[in-house]
Amino acid sequence: MMTSAIINRRTLCQGLSGRFGAIFGMVGAIVMALSCYRLASVWLLVGLPALFFYQPTKARAFLVIVTFYATLNVEEYADIMHFFSMNPFLTFVLWIIHALLFCAVWMFFFKSRLGAQPAFWRSIIFSVCLALPPLGFFVWIQPIIASGALFPGFGWLGLALTLVLMGLISAFSLQPHSTGLRLWLIIFVTVVLLANIHSTPAPPPNHALAINTQIGKVPANVFLSIQDQQREANKVRNALDHGDHLIILPENMTSWLPGSQRLWQSIAHTAQNKNARVFIGRVHEDKGDTFDSGFEILGSPRDKFLAERIPMPLGEWKPCFIAGAFHAHIDDFGIYTWGNERIAYLICYEQMIPYPILVSFLKKPTLIVGGANQWFASKRSYLKQKISMRAFARLFNVPTLVATNW
């Protein structure tokens, strides 16, 4: 009778798993997507590869990952409609295509009925491939950003431990009765708890200021009125007079036309006399109708422009087109050295993907500065945009300074 009861219980569990497994997978994907709004909860993403590879069929795996990205991008529906002034139907189509493209990347790596050891290695290899080019240019909100919540201050070791933990969770989901896997997971959980208990946030930089603006939509997506720029220039001048030595303004802050250029050159002269630096976002137009977005450094003895390394693909960076496209500078480390400071700079889209952030950390920056122009987006949406930057800043214990235009 006992054997019969065990068989009946096993049959019942298999039936529930088959009937409700897709629902459980979708609920798990929704919870993980919602965790991306807060750094404290983004650790849940460490289980996303396990949830994906655990699915018994491609259809179930696709359902899980499309649920994750559809939930993750729910605010993007309104953002796309606002930015492109599109009608709701075309916006919905573009939003669905966006989610499906992300899903296609995941589905390429899927294989059903994996064993525990293959699932361990596939989770690690898959996560590394997501972060590296070419996929690393396109796929944002990746599982490895959980490293900042799990292993603060551990740096590259914390990133490696996160990858191993992903593999262990994937293996354990397929072989839950393994004593060895249980022991390893207990060790990892202990290390995570100790790391977070003893974690101390990086101190903010002294005499540094990020000036957020509420200018709204930049006229013609590039130009600002001279009145707006005069108002912001006065804020910068006041900050310099009060002793701030590093000031950050948002992306696309100035047009750098003759009138505005004279205005900011007076600020540059003041900053240079005070040995200060002002990072001001602007668009640089090259001959041939191509562009660079980046930071103009005011106060430097010589003109210095820090170009965005990875503009948003297709929207700005168009590898197959020339006219109207933004340049990519993927071979740049994104570091500006000033005295003892090594400043990593991240502009808009670069804050969303791990690749440019991790490349900058190869040079051991002491500070991360960022600029963004979010006139079209909700503040809730921007929480997800900068989650990668905040997570890796915590992983390497480096302070951040970010200026945003709304």
pLDDT, tens digit, 9 for 90 and up, residues 120-142: 999 999 999 999 988 888 887 88
Banded pLDDT at 311 (limits 50, 70, 90): confident
| Alpha helices per DSSP H over 40-114 | 48-53, 58-72, 76-84, 88-108
- Residue spans of the domains in the chain: they are 2-197, 208-405
CB 276 within 8 A of CB 299: yes
CA atoms of 144 and 198, how far apart (whole Å): 21
* The pairing of beta strand 290-298 with beta strand 208-210: unpaired
CA atoms of 51 and 270, how far apart (whole Å): 56
* The pairing of beta strand 290-298 with beta strand 304-307: antiparallel
CATH 3.60.110.10 fits 208-405, yes or no: yes
Q: Which two tokens stand for residue 171?
A: 């293996």
Q: What is the pLDDT of residue 272?
A: 93
H or E, element range at 342: strand 341-347
pLDDT(221) > 60: no
Reported pTM: 0.89
